[in-house]
Structure formats: C-alpha cells, structure tokens
Amino acid sequence: MARHGRSLAWQLTLRIVLPQGLIMMAAFLILGYQIHRDSVSYVDPKLVEEVQDSLVPANDGGIALSPTKALRQAMHDYPDLWIVARDEAGHAYRQGTPPASLAPLIDRLDRLAASDIHGSRAPYTDTAAIRLVEWKFRKVHFMMGGASTTSAGGLTTMVADYLTWRLLLPTVLATLIIVPIIVRRSMKSVREVARHADAIDVEKRGAKLADQTVPYEIQPLVRGFNAALTRVSEGYDVRDRFLASAAHELRAPIAILRTRIEAMDPGPERTRLIGDVARLWNLAEQLLDLQRFNGDAAACQRLDLAKLAADTVGDIAPVALESGNDIAFDGPGTPVWVHGDALALSRVLMNLIQNAMMHAGDEGPISVAVNTLGELSVTDEGRGVPLGERDRIFEPFYRTRPSSTGTGLGLHLARQVVERHGGSIDVIDAEHGGACFRVRLPLSAA
C-alpha cells in the first residue's frame, strides 16, 4: 500500500496555530503579572451586572432600584455599597454614600462612557465602575462602588476568559480555515506541474516541466526533475544509437548468410535455416524501425491494413509452406484505413507469423485475419500461452521455453512499434486451441 505524505496545508496551519496559542498564553501571563504588580482593582463584574439588571424606570418618570436576590445579598454583605444613577434628562438616583473623591465625576455622570476607576491603595474605597443602561426611550448612566473587588488572579482569569472567546478562538478558527485555502491556491501551479509530469512519455525526447510557474521554493525540485529527464533522454539516445549501429552491422552478414543458405540443396535443414535467418533479418529491421519511427505524424501515411496484411502473407507464404505450415488470410473485402508506417507494421505482422510458425508445431495451420474495426489477428493451433505469461512474453528477452531458438526480442519490438502507432497488442486463447495475437490500431478518418 502506498504511503501518503502529510498535508503541507495542515502542517503550516498547525505551525501557525501553536505559536498563536503560546503568544496568547504569554500575553495572559504578562497581563496578570502587570495587574498584580500595579495592584489594580476592579469592582466585581458580576455585581456590576446585578446592579445593571436592578435599575428600572420609576413610576414618576425617574429612576428606581428593584434589587435582584443577588444584589440584596450583596447590599447585606457590603454595608458600604453605594450606587449613583443619572439620565440625560436630569433624573437621578442615589443608594449609599459615595466617597468625596468621586463627587466631581458624579456631577458629570451622564456625560461619561463605560469605564473603570481603580483605587491605588487598600482597601480601594475609590474603586468604582461606570456603566450604561439602555431603556426604551432613554439611557441611564450609573456608578457604583464600596463592594467586593476582584483579586489579581481573578482579574487575570476574567481577562483571559474575555480574550479567549473574543480573540484567541476566532483567530485560531480563522487560521484553520484560511491557511489551508491559501496553501491550496498557492499550490495550484504545483498540481499543474504534477499533472504535466504524470503525462510525460520518456520515449519522446525533450519533454520538460515549466519551473517558472511554481513557487520559488519548489523550483529547485522541478529543475532537478528536468535534469533527471535530460539524463534519461541522453541514455535513450545512446541506447538508440547503439541499437541502430548494431542493426546496420547485422544486415550485411545476415544477407550473406541467407544467400549461402539458399544455395544449399533442398531439405529439412535448409528449410529450418531459412526460417531462422528470416527471423534474424526481420529482427534487425524492427530495430531500425524503432529508430526511424517514433509515432510522429510526419512518418505516417494513410494505408489499407487489409491490403498490407494480404501482401505480407503473400511474401511469407513460400517460407511457411516450405516449413510445412498452411497459412490463410481472411480480409473484409473492403479497405480498412489506418495511419501508420507501412514497413514497420508489415514487419510486426511478419514477426507474429514467424512466432506462430515456431510454436504451431509441424504442419500446423496459421490464420491471419483483418476486420473493419482495425483489428489484425494471427492465430495458430500450437500449445498456446499460459495465462500467467501473457504479459511477460512482451518483455525483452523473455521466452516461454528456455530451450526455444527465439531471441525473446521479437514480441517486445512488435509491442513497441504498435504502441508508437497508438495501438495495442495482446494474446488470448484461440478458438480451436493455440494462441491468437491481436493487434488493434486506431482507424483513420476519411
């Protein structure tokens, strides 16, 4: 099973979220230390909310206090609790005795915004909270103090709780959503390059990836991949030059050998040697075909597959008959137009017929057929190809029988040529036993 790498988007997200959390925690600690060092005091926020809920409009249009249960308990526990309220129309309410130091603020209370006043020394009698109550038709400003104040630890917890829900959590959630989106959008060009790399055919020289479209940090990887492609292409060029040279060098001695064998007296040995030399000649020519034809349209022409097959069968029929193999051709009677290299495709068919002659047994019949779908088949009545070897026989130098006289290259070269024509080749069981090799080629438009 292939292992999938970790998501870059989530790695970046976590590496951003974790420092954010640590920075926030550090800020809470620093804030708590600062509050503790400065001995800052606040009126208990819960008590402030109770007063805010208890202020109600009076029947005469003024301001009244209808204490909640919690506020009544606080008034009992803190006898010095005081409350002053004033609206913009001049109505006022007073509960308890405010410190004289805050008198100037009380006179202008209706002009003050929500704020907190911190007493500088214990018991913090000057600590007060100013808040705003909004009723249907008016606003009431109130100030209160003389009650419990929060400790440094409690205040720090309150601030942390406030900032966690209003700052840290939204920031983390935004990071979890936004960063993956940004990363995926930024990696769009990388995915395009990956699709391009996946479509590269190493058999076609000069293919490279565009490194200008990917992020700067990934360009070295793309350039390294392109350098590897260049080395592979150079290796293929060296191999192709060697195979072409070897095939050219083989043609002359094979031709001389064929001439000498044909001059021998007729007999079984001469027949076998002629067949072996024909296979060697066809193999050398297929090696040259691979160097000459690379699937480009310029090397192709529109040709009749049925006629090509009929001519090839006619060329090899004397050799097959001399070997004792009957050979028959079945065509559709109408042209089957395909695009391809006539010589290369003819040698593919020649290779398949020679392969059938090797494996069909003495005097075994061989059938060659072409249909209107662009399918060419060669059928024998030999031993057939075992199911587990039907893909391997197209590998170079693989032979179903180690003692076989074949080279193990013919079928491999045949598949290479067919695939460069945009087609496919496979083998199935023949109807009456033996093997049936099928070549499928794309039909040519009129």
The per-residue pLDDT for range 25-66, each reduced to its tens digit, is: 777 777 666 655 555 667 888 888 899 999 999 888 899 999
Are 19 and 110 part of one and the same domain?
no
Does residue 65 lie in a domain region? yes
| pLDDT value for 446 | 61
Report percent pLDDT > 70 for the chain.
78
Q: Which of 412, 411, 377, 413 is nearest to 305 (CA)?
A: 377
Average pLDDT over residues 420-444: 89
- Alpha helices in 140-187, H assignment, sequence order: 152-163, 169-186
* In the predicted structure, residue 375 carries a pLDDT above the cut 90: yes
* In the predicted structure, residue 245 carries a pLDDT above the cut 80: no
Does residue 362 lie in a domain region? yes
Q: Give the number of other CB atoms < 10 A from CB of residue 314.
A: 11
Are 73 and 168 part of one and the same domain?
no
Contacts of residue 43, defined as CB under 8 A and 6 or more positions apart, other chains included, come to 116, 127, 128, 129, 144, 145, 147, 148, 149, 150
* In the predicted structure, residue 403 carries a pLDDT above the cut 50: no
Report percent pLDDT > 90 for the chain.
18
| pLDDT value for 55 | 92
Burial of 9: CB neighbours in 10 Å, binned 0-12, 13-18, 19+: middle
Which of these three, 101, 131, 149, is where a domain ends?
149
* In the predicted structure, residue 359 carries a pLDDT above the cut 90: no
| Euclidean distance between CA atoms 169 and 157, whole angstroms | 16
CB 120 within 8 A of CB 126: yes
Does residue 1 lie in a domain region? no
Q: φ and ψ at 83, to 5 degrees?
A: -140, 130
What is the domain-level CATH number for residue 53? 3.30.450
* In the predicted structure, residue 247 carries a pLDDT above the cut 70: no
Are 309 and 434 part of one and the same domain?
yes
Which of these three, 149, 166, 198, is where a domain ends?
149
Token representation of residue 224? 């390294």
Token representation of residue 98? 């405010």
Are 316 and 333 part of one and the same domain?
yes
* In the predicted structure, residue 154 carries a pLDDT above the cut 60: no
| pLDDT value for 89 | 84
Strands (E), 381-430: 424-429
* In the predicted structure, residue 357 carries a pLDDT above the cut 80: yes
Are 54 and 139 part of one and the same domain?
yes
Query: Which one is predicted more confidently, 367 or 398?
Result: 367
Q: Which of 360, 291, 285, 359 is nearest to 315 (CA)?
A: 285
Average pLDDT over residues 263-285: 74
Query: Which one is predicted more confidently, 159 or 110?
Result: 110
Are 295 and 419 part of one and the same domain?
yes
Provide the β-strand partners of residue 443. Answer: 338
* In the predicted structure, residue 377 carries a pLDDT above the cut 90: yes
pLDDT band, residue 85 (cuts 50/70/90) = very high
Burial of 231: CB neighbours in 10 Å, binned 0-12, 13-18, 19+: exposed
* In the predicted structure, residue 67 carries a pLDDT above the cut 80: yes
* In the predicted structure, residue 242 carries a pLDDT above the cut 70: no
Are 380 and 301 part of one and the same domain?
yes
| pLDDT value for 1 | 45
| Euclidean distance between CA atoms 298 and 291, whole angstroms | 14
Q: Which of 115, 54, 57 is nearest to 91 (CA)?
A: 57
| Euclidean distance between CA atoms 9 and 435, whole angstroms | 53
User: What is the average pLDDT value for the chain, to the nearest integer?
Assistant: 79
Does residue 159 lie in a domain region? yes
Q: How far is CA 265 from the centre of its chain?
A: 67
* In the predicted structure, residue 101 carries a pLDDT above the cut 80: yes
Does residue 420 lie in a domain region? yes
Average pLDDT over residues 261-266: 77
| Euclidean distance between CA atoms 349 and 377, whole angstroms | 9
| pLDDT value for 324 | 78
Are 160 and 53 part of one and the same domain?
no
Are 310 and 168 part of one and the same domain?
no
Does residue 278 lie in a domain region? no
Average pLDDT over residues 285-301: 64
| pLDDT value for 56 | 92
**Residue holding tokens 């913009």?**
88
Does residue 269 lie in a domain region? no
CA angle 203, 283, 444 (to 5 degrees): 55
Considering the entire predicted model, what is its pTM? Answer: 0.48
| Euclidean distance between CA atoms 121 and 70, whole angstroms | 27
Q: How many domains does the chain have?
A: 3
What is the domain-level CATH number for residue 344? 3.30.565.10
Are 16 and 100 part of one and the same domain?
no
* In the predicted structure, residue 7 carries a pLDDT above the cut 80: no
Contacts of residue 94, defined as CB under 8 A and 6 or more positions apart, other chains included, come to 82, 83, 84, 85
CB 439 within 8 A of CB 423: yes
| pLDDT value for 361 | 61
DSSP helix/strand/coil, 375: strand
| pLDDT value for 411 | 83
Which of 156-170, 203-217, 233-247, 357-371 is modeled with the greatest confidence? Answer: 357-371
Are 159 and 31 part of one and the same domain?
yes
- Give the domain extent around 165: 8-38+155-186
Query: Which one is predicted more confidently, 149 or 114?
Result: 114
* In the predicted structure, residue 3 carries a pLDDT above the cut 60: no
Does residue 312 lie in a domain region? yes
* In the predicted structure, residue 218 carries a pLDDT above the cut 90: no
Query: Which one is predicted more confidently, 5 or 353?
Result: 353
Are 299 and 414 part of one and the same domain?
yes
| pLDDT value for 310 | 93
Average pLDDT over residues 370-394: 87
* In the predicted structure, residue 326 carries a pLDDT above the cut 70: yes
